[in-house]
A and B are shown apart, each in its own frame.
Chain A
Amino acid sequence: MQGRRNFLKLSAGAAIGSLAATLPGTVQAKSCGEINWDESADVIVVGSGFAGLSAAVNAKRQGLGSVLVLEKMQVIGGNSAINGGWLAIPKNPIQLAQGVNDDSPEELVKDQIISGRGMQNEPALRQIANRSLDAYDLCIDTGVKFRDGFNIQVGGHNKARAIRTQHGTGGDITTKLYEAGVKEGVDHRLQHYIEDFIMDGQQIIGVKVRKNYRFPDLKTGTTIFIKANKAVVLANGGFARNMALREAVDPSLDPTLDCTNAMGATGEVTLTAMAYGALPVHMNLIQTGHWGSPDEGGFGWSNALLSIGWHQGVAISVLNGKRFMDERADRKTCSEAIMKNRNADGSPAYPVVFFNYNNYAKDDRVVRALRDEMAWKVDSLDEIAAKFDIPAAELKRSIKEYNKHVGERKDPLFNRKMDTAEELTGPFVVSRIWPKVHYCMGGLKTDLGARVIDGRSMAPIKNLYAIGEVTGGIHGEARLSSTSCLECLVMGIIVSETIKADLEGAV
């Protein structure tokens, strides 16, 4: 017991990130005597999203022994469970049945190089693309259902290769991977918060865990130590919900920006790994969407609704009733313009976007948005002005002027392409907008086998692996849509193979 107390002190110091305590050669565990492990597992997986659940099932299938998945939240699945269910698979059967025969893993990599803008890790992307049918098979054999005959070309891809789960959510995949894991003997635990790593020099030998933890209160639960006989796989996702960290690495991401992510995407495990020497890369590359609505949580319907709003409608500042941007400009341009709308105290003055109701009354995007009260049907400009506290005369003047520009198919104010713009006559569908933070391209540097790289030696930290959004440097400047799900599922397969190979190499 005495030994453990001493050890606890040291471990707390290390968690704060004192480099001195983690220098190579420091044998923390041994220098403090025996640790009283509460339990042990051959493979410990941190996090239960696509990456963690895929790694767990595949570790079982590789015969790596007992597998324990630790999840801090009260639900399984993280971002993966709430995700949109889009999965890019070159040469998937639906694509082939559609007669798209000229796609290949290399074609996908080509698209990813363009969106990565030179910062991507080509060999990693190629390895993932080459194994994409393995990810598809994993889904099918665990019982995931995809939409019949559905395979489309999504933004940034040069081929129709994105399939989608039956209900349009990643939950269709996580629930099946979870059930397969339960059946095959994976031990999943909710409310287990990874607080710290237990290192033996440059090797991880276990984790310090807060059991029965209640997010987000770090005083809840009790501390236990779990020994990892063979490997610790970090699959703890991104850090888009960590406001301080977000702002530290990209000061333009001010805290008024909400986030599409699950609440648990706070990155503390990533920081712990860094404190033990793991090399962070591209931490400041964070994807935001300028299509968020403050009137719904998560990703929501706003993005879909705005695909009408940006094209057929207008964005208006509530402060002065005027248009303020080219509604069809790129993400960055629009985000910056939207975020300039502030009240005197700096708080967001959410702009409104609106378009004619009648032409879209039956459109799914409108029906859902009105149903869930993140957009409203409003009959007249006067009513819009009253509801959203916009100067009415100015609003009417702006719309009159806009309608004239629609007629002329020219936008002298912002040079917007007006080919799809409609004269606004009402009644209207109105929603409010503010950008949301969406995906972290950056994270821990790993090698192709998912081994976490120590920045001081540029060599792998022994027995420590990382996969999924927690890793960095793979996608470069911007991740292409539908590719994270693919990456996570594939890397879950690859990491299990690496662990096996490393164990065999060690014998």
Chain B
Amino acid sequence: MNKLLLSALLGLALSSNVMAGELVKMKGKTEGRVNHEFIYQDGCQTCHQGSGKKNTTDAACVECHGDINSIPVDESKLAIPEAHPHKSLHYNQGASCLACHAEHEKKAPVCTECHRTWFEEM
């Protein structure tokens, strides 16, 4: 994947108010993120290797976005500095992207199981 294109897309996603990209209708009834539109145009293989019925794994996220450490988080929006979701005191590196992010629906991050007021559904 083209690094330049990637940073342009990431820039876009971050400057809008929804971090992971707005959720919109993509294909038929399926919803997806605006910044992932090109994946839908390519068929869904980028995430669902082989078949749309197969669950995706972190590998697909990491391939484009890099690992958890290289993904910026807007720290000005955190309830408290310790609420940094990519530097969690509870999980740190031991969290799957899928614990907090979903492609086809809005999802509350795993942290909200306890810290209910710190994060919004994204």
Contact = CB atoms under 8 A, between A and B. Distances in A.
Interface in B96-110: 96, 98-99, 110
A263 interface: yes
B9 interface: no
A66 interface: no
A105 interface: no
A75 B99 contact: yes
A366 B95 CA distance: 31
Q: Chain A: interface residue count, which band?
A: 35 or more
Given A81-B91, A169-B89, A297 B112 contact: yes
A296 to B, nearest CB: 6
B95 A74 contact: yes
Interface in A296-335: 296-300
Q: Chain B: interface residue count, which band?
A: 20 to 34
Instruction: Classify the secondary structure of A's interface with B.
Output: loop
B89 A76 contact: no
Contacts of A82: 90, 114
Contacts of B110: 74-75
Contact of A212 (B57, B116, B117, B118): B57
Nearest to A212: B55
A200 to B, nearest CB: 31
A49 to B, nearest CB: 11
Contact of B117 (A169, A221, A299, A373): A373
A175 interface: yes
B52 to A, nearest CB: 14
Nearest to A182: B93
A401 to B, nearest CB: 35
B98 A74 contact: yes
Residue of B92, B94, B114 contacting most chain A CB atoms (<10 Å): B94
Interface in B63-122: 79-80, 82, 88-96, 98-99, 110, 112-118
A74 B56 CA distance: 13
A82 B89 CA distance: 9
B93 A74 contact: no
B95 A76 contact: yes
B98 A188 contact: no
Contacts of B80: 371
Instruction: Classify the secondary structure of B's interface with A.
Output: loop
Contacts of A372: 79, 115-118
Contacts of A295: 116
A171 B116 contact: no
A174 B88 CA distance: 12
A309 to B, nearest CB: 20
Contact of A179 (B88, B93, B96): B93
Contact of A297 (B57, B88, B91, B115): B115
A179 B92 CA distance: 10
Given A74-B99, A75-B99, A371-B79, A175 B94 contact: yes
Contact of B82 (A77, A167, A214, A263): A167
Contacts of A153: none
Contacts of B114: 82, 296-300
A469 interface: no
Nearest to A53: B94
A75 B98 CA distance: 9
Contacts of B113: 262-263, 297-298
Closest 7 CB pairs of A and B: A76-B94, A171-B90, A298-B114, A74-B99, A297-B114, A74-B96, A175-B92
Interface of A: 48, 73-77, 81-82, 167, 169-172, 174-175, 178-179, 182, 188, 190-191, 212, 214, 220-221, 262-263, 295-300, 371-374
Given A76-B91, A298-B114, 9 more contacts: A75-B91, A75-B95, A76-B95, A81-B94, A171-B88, A191-B96, A214-B55, A214-B98, A372-B116
